[in-house]
A = this chain, B = another copy of it.
Amino acid sequence: MSEQNLTKNQDLVLNQLGKSKTPMSAYDLLDKLREKGLKAPLQIYRALDKLTEMGLAHRLETLNAFVACAHPNCHENELIAFGICENCNKVWEFSDDEVSKRLDLWAKERDFTPVKTSLEIRGICAKCA
């Protein structure tokens, strides 16, 4: 299940994220990957940095946790949004061109240069309602 040219640690972390149905914190990942030889938080954080740069994983700011990207080559999309169920912790990844457009417009009107946008809707999903 290796993707691209991931290093050993990156591959371990991405696989573990991929197996999880819900977001995992760096320390969740570390606990799971100790048996594979990883010993320190930094090994996890460094792998996560690269994976998020590559668009293979995403950081959820409201949870301090990470998910594997749900789409192939997601980092083509400028804006990625997440719905997060506070009961079952499932995450839905989506994007919306109209939202992107409106935020771009806000930025243009102020000569603000966006670098990274975070959009997370916390709530309760249909199943949990």
Q: Interface on A for B, CB 8 Å cutoff? A: 61-62, 81, 83, 85-86, 92, 94, 96, 98-99, 102-103, 106-107, 110-126, 129
Contacts and interface: CB of A to CB of B under 8 A. Distances in A.
Contacts of A86: 115
A114 B120 contact: no
Contacts of A102: 96, 98-99, 102
A62 to B, nearest CB: 5
Contact of A126 (B96, B99, B111): B111
Contacts of A96: 102-103, 106
A123 B118 contact: no
A115 B113 CA distance: 29
A71 B123 CA distance: 25
A13 B102 CA distance: 34
Contact of A107 (B83, B99, B115, B117): B83
Contacts of A116: 122-123
A42 to B, nearest CB: 19
A115 B119 contact: no
19 contacts: A61-B118, A62-B118, A81-B103, A83-B107, A83-B110, A83-B112, A98-B98, A99-B99, A102-B102, A107-B121, A111-B125, A112-B124, A113-B124, A114-B121, A115-B123, A117-B120, A118-B118, A118-B120, A119-B119
